[in-house]
Amino acid sequence: MADESRREDAERAMRAINRAWLDGALDELAPRVHPEIVTALPGFGGSVAGRGAFLAGFRDFVENCRIQEFRELDLNADAIGDTAVVTFRYEMVYERGGERYRAAGRDLWVFQLNEGAQNGRWLAVWRAMLEMQEEPA
């Protein structure tokens, strides 16, 4: 598989992840992330490791928030060999506990190609939320 084709596949993997959590389909999200995925937490300098903790964060958001708008902007992937880095900006409006919030930022994801899967499959192995801003809407 040429690097250009891998880059496009990594972009599709990222869009599928976003589509899954936005649709509340966490069962579709789970097989797209590595069992030992690490999420670098914004502003805290810490991290959370493991698929269970990763999914718990999305589950909390999906169960307690109602997304009113979500825009994915400037999605870009670079792939070399079995590694891809995907970034995108996002803008979102959501409601939590009767309050509306506007959030924006940039996500950075690292993917690893799982050659054992049929036709290969990109698995997310690391995520960081950057430039995060949130305010009442």
Mean pLDDT, residues 15-25 taken together: 95
Q: What is the DSSP letter of 61?
A: H
Domain count, the chain: 1
pLDDT at 67 over 80: yes
User: Which residues fall within 8 angstroms of residue 84, CB to CB, at 6 or more apart?
Assistant: 6, 7, 10, 13, 77, 78, 110, 111, 113, 122
Q: What is the CATH number of the domain that holds 64?
A: 3.10.450.50
Model confidence, pTM: 0.91
Helix (H, G, I), strand (E, B) or coil at 58: helix
CB 7 within 8 A of CB 52: no
**4-8, 19-23, 89-93, 123-127: the lowest-pLDDT one:** 4-8
Domain holding 106, by residue range, is 3-136
